[in-house]
A and B are shown apart, each in its own frame.
Chain A
Amino acid sequence: METYFTAAVAGLTAGGAYALLGVCAVFTYRLVAVVNFTGAAIGTAGTFMLISLTEAGYPTWPSVLAGIVTGTAVGVAIGFVMTRWFATAGASTKAAVTAALLVGLIAIGLRLTGGQHPHVMPELFPGSAFRLAGVQVTNASALTIGLAVLFTVASSLFLNGTRTGLHLRALSERPMAAELLGVRVRLLSLFVWGVTGAFTTFALMIIAPQRSPNFMTLSLLVVPALAAALIGLFRSFWLTLAGGIALGILEGLASTVDVVSQYRSAIPFLVILAVLLWSQREARWDEAR
């Protein structure tokens, strides 16, 4: 029993990162209507800026800052492509474009970072924050979960309480009608891409030491992130947050069972499949009536 509990708690760091990445995916989808497959890759680009600076001997925290700036810039660049050339495209076209961009980013990223060549990722927040029923909860997990909650609360306060937030909500519903009223639609869209770029970068910096830090592995963390977003049906921030954490815990638990342990990275796929099948069933049910 205790081993299960320990394993579940160990899954919290990944869960917190999935939650944060998932919440960012929902934010991007709700505000600029893009299912963004490049989310984790954007964060990975920023993380590798941090890695290469620290490997070159620069101090950690300025490198973290440079990494976040890089992630923000890559996010804005992807956002520029999406708003400049695909603003009026349908949802599936946009998703396909970001999937293609993901492949491109991984290719460029692997080339620049030396492929599978091992890197040293500094652990930013070593140690544990507190004990939960006798089990250590790491700083990293407390921080990612805290950040995901903060992002959720802050974004809802921002969207509902500020003029820019009102413009973003208008933009998400009818971009053209918003633009006709003088809302700076392109600028705001880039802002959304930049903010999510910064947050995903930070999430990846925290989770990277636990994974093999190579560009492809980290970029593919978009899969559990989108699985979490799907649990929230790309609408609910809180459900996405819970979904991300649950995924992490599930992975942690799976690692204790020998037969499934090797397949635990397939868990997000199974969740995606299950949610899609379930939502399809709803649709078919509606049609039948």
Chain B
Amino acid sequence: MSALRVSGLSIARAGLPVVSGVDLVAEPGAISVVLGANGAGKTTLLEGLSGIIPVTGGTIAIGGSEVQNALAGLRSRAGLAHVEQGRTVFGQLTTDENLRIGLRKGAGTDEAYGLFPELTQRRQVRGGLLSGGEQQMLVIARALLTRPKVLLIDEMSAGLAPVIVTRLMHTVRRLADEGLAVLLVEQFAALALSIGDRAYVMRRGRFVYDGDCGSLAKAPDELHRLYLGTT
């Protein structure tokens, strides 16, 4: 069974359709990459999936049960985690407190420090005082401690140094290899395609490509065409 199965999903913003009739799946152990130009509707898609904004049509199933009408908190408890665009750390809370908020039974903050050892030094430092890279590590680790089946990640590489981006990408790959289903929204297309399994390209709220990452990675011209919509 797919960890996440979405069919015919539509989402409106301020009354205008922004996502229309999207079908997608995220499988355990695999990374599904969503690419698309600025304003294509990628963030809107993820926000609709996690329950930040309501959907106008279609279904969202986590591990087989439909959640499209449930509140965000319930979707989280059903196994969905969302690492939002823009590194939403709790700036007033320490690193350790940030990690403890969503801690589920059987999970411990040690796992987070094992995954990102650099956070250990910053345990008692407020989230707002961490560097961009540390904040990104913190929000990813924080989401993992909720023991998700599906992890949605929105533009984790924005504004970070290339070495850190590569590092984070490898971490995400490893998490998938351990059985997590990942839906990765990215602007760094080449890097995302190199670690991903399945790829979707979004243009004006619709998927214009649905296939494997490998063949898209080998055809940069095709990707360019899909982004811009010139035929």
Interface residues of A (CB under 8 A from B): 163, 166-167, 169-170, 173-174, 176-186
Contact = CB atoms under 8 A, between A and B. Distances in A.
A187 B100 CA distance: 19
A170 B142 contact: no
B93 A183 contact: no
B211 to A, nearest CB: 30
Contacts of A176: 52, 72
Given A166-B100, A169-B93, A173-B91, A185 B52 contact: no
A183 B101 contact: yes
A166 B98 CA distance: 9
B93 A184 contact: no
B101 A166 contact: yes
Contact of A183 (B51, B73, B97): B73
Contacts of B73: 179-180, 182-185
Contact of A180 (B76, B91, B92, B100): B76
A177 B97 CA distance: 14
Given A179-B73, A183-B102, A173 B93 contact: yes
B55 interface: no
A61 to B, nearest CB: 39
A179 B101 contact: no
Contacts of A170: 90, 93, 97, 101
Nearest to B102: A181
A228 to B, nearest CB: 24
A20 B84 CA distance: 39
A215 to B, nearest CB: 36
A175 to B, nearest CB: 10
A186 B71 CA distance: 10
Given A166-B100, A176-B72, A181 B93 contact: no
Interface residues of B, number: 24
Contacts of A174: 88, 90
Contacts of A186: 71
Interface string B71-91: 111001100011010001011
Interface string B163-181: 0000000000000000000
Given A167-B101, A181-B101, 6 more contacts: A170-B90, A173-B91, A174-B88, A178-B90, A179-B73, A186-B71
A169 B88 CA distance: 15
Interface centre among A166, A169, A173, A177 (most CB of B within 10 A): A177
A7 to B, nearest CB: 42
B146 interface: yes
19 contacts: A166-B93, A167-B101, A169-B97, A170-B90, A170-B93, A170-B101, A173-B93, A176-B72, A177-B90, A178-B101, A179-B73, A180-B73, A180-B84, A181-B142, A181-B143, A181-B146, A183-B73, A183-B101, A183-B102
A173 B127 CA distance: 12
A184 B93 CA distance: 18
A80 to B, nearest CB: 15
Contacts of A182: 73, 76-77, 102, 104, 146
CB-CB nearest 5 A-B residue pairs:
A181-B102, A182-B76, A177-B88, A179-B72, A179-B73
Nearest to A176: B52
Interface in B32-57: 50-52
A150 B195 CA distance: 56
Contacts of A169: 90, 92-93, 97
A238 B90 CA distance: 24
B149 to A, nearest CB: 13
